[in-house]
Amino acid sequence: MESPQNIPLNDLSNYLGNNNTSEPDAVHSPRGQTSHHEFSLPPADGGRAAWLFLAAGFVVEALVWGFPFSFGIFQEYYITHEPFSSAPSGITVIGTTATGLMYMSGLVLFPAYKKWPRLAQTSQWAGMPLMAAGLTAASFANKVDHLILTQGVLYGLGASIIYCPILLFIDEWFIERKGLAYGVLWAGTSTAGVIVPFLLNTILGRYGFRTTLRIWATTILILSTPLIYFLRPRLPVSLVSRSPRYGLGFLKNTNFWLFQACVIFESLGYFLPSIYLPTFARSLQLSPGIGSLLIALLNGSAVFATIIMGILCDRFHVTTVILLSTIGATFSVFVFWGLSTTLPFLCIFAILYGFFAGGFVSTNAGVMKLVKRQDQSTDIGILLGVIGAGRGIGSLLSGPLSEMLLRGSSWEANVGGAGYGSKYGSLVVFTGVTAALGGISFLGKRLGWIQ
């Protein structure tokens, strides 16, 4: 892609109103002559500004998502320490509420950004303080309900406010290399997931949860605030003429709803290993530090998966990449988690599941490209919000569902030993089944339902 493009001011608003995700071949004034009132847009798919944006997004992604994706460390601490161990019911909901809100908030935020374009950039400055306030408030909690409202709801809302604009702007900075860009961005979560579990486990063991929450609140403020400067849109907001239409034609597309069903099914079980692996390891009489190791392995392998599967989505049909993710994730659950009795099996499971299930999120980029190609009027921001809502539904439901499965489970004793025979056996099966259902779009492609 050549860069930068010189675009006349009097034509830019018309161009942006129709499509803000591709470059015009040539732009002329209404009289057929090139306007002398020109300015330069920074290049898409490369260049200093684009890579700085992606680098800043990577770090902010790590800070925002790395904490809730390491919630299994907090879960293990809360259920074994006062004042929460005496009434542990609902602890799982803390983590799934945060991630669920972060995924679902796009349904509200992206339409708001479309109506008020400046809001996307200005609101970012409020996101990190709100996240820090949620964690600080959580440090004074004495009941699980308090943690759900603070470490769950407040943190999730603050994270959404800073994170959603990044998803909106990345579509302007990367056009042809969209899969790679999203893969690198989403790798931030997995990268943090390698480091954060060990940090949290060490600080929790030494200082307790109150000081740990305050330390993390301070950390995200110090590290992230300078980076917001680089998380800017590529297109000049002051000249953008937003169409009153919201580009909702994709909601009539059966292809999209089949993909959305895959997202919801996969998300119902996706978060459970990262939440329950530390307590599962403890049930095998393994040391507390093993839980941090397992989560680090799970998140670490996802670093490579998100980038690799993002690149694959640029080269192959998205259903092929989904099938690869589905087969690997399902196999790892039923074979290695279900038959785990020792640490090596758990480590293999964490690596395989982290890679194949962790890479599933990168298929969103392939889905967006496919839907946009089938309906050019589709608004990418709204589409992102709807896809994220599907993942959020799965996250929100997975917490209560997993606790119900643990309380009502009685069949494992008849199955045998290993993971299947433990009190977590129902979770193993549930995670494996939902991972398998996440791949039904490939069947839809074979049946001709998806083009």
Average pLDDT, the chain: 83
Q: Would you place residue 247 in the very low, low, confident or very high pLDDT band (cuts 50, 70, 90)?
A: confident
Instruction: State mean pLDDT over 439-444.
Output: 87
Query: 267-293 pLDDT, tens per residue?
Result: 999 999 988 998 898 888 888 789 889
pLDDT computed for residue 297 by the predictor: 92
Across residues 143-155, what is the average pLDDT? 95
What's the pTM value of the predicted model, to 2 decimals?
Answer: 0.77
Q: Which residue has the higher pLDDT, 373 or 133?
A: 133
| Distance, CA of 19 to CA of 372 (rounded, Å) | 11
CATH class of 48-232+240-446: mainly alpha
Query: Comparing 36-50, 56-70, 122-136, which segment has the lowest mean pLDDT?
Result: 36-50
3-state secondary structure 294-315: HHHHHHHHHHHHHHHHHHHHHH
Distance in angstroms (rounded) separating the CA atoms of residues 332 and 50: 37
CA angle 278, 266, 184 (to 5 degrees): 80
> What does the pLDDT read at residue 413?
52
Task: Average the pLDDT over 169-183 and give the result.
Answer: 84
Residue 156 has pLDDT above 90, yes or no: yes
The conformation of residue 234, written as its DSSP 8-state character, comes to S
pLDDT digits (tens, 9 = 90+) for 116-132: 888 888 888 898 899 99
pLDDT band at 8 (very low <50, low <70, confident <90, very high): very low
Whether the per-residue pLDDT at 25 is higher than 70: the answer is no
Q: Which residue has the tokens 């800073």?
A: 162
Helix or strand run (H / E) with residue 91 = helix 91-104
Quick check: bond before 233 cis, omega within 30? no
Q: Is the pLDDT of residue 182 over 90?
A: no
CB atoms within 10 A of CB 315: 10
Q: Which residue has the tokens 């020109």?
A: 38
Contact 392, 125 (CB under 8 A): no
Separation CA 448–CA 451 (nearest Å): 7
- What is the full DSSP assignment across 136-169? HHHTT--SHHHHIIIIIIIHHHHHHHHHHHHHHH
Structure tokens at 57: 């997004």
Per-residue pLDDT for 414 more than 70?
no
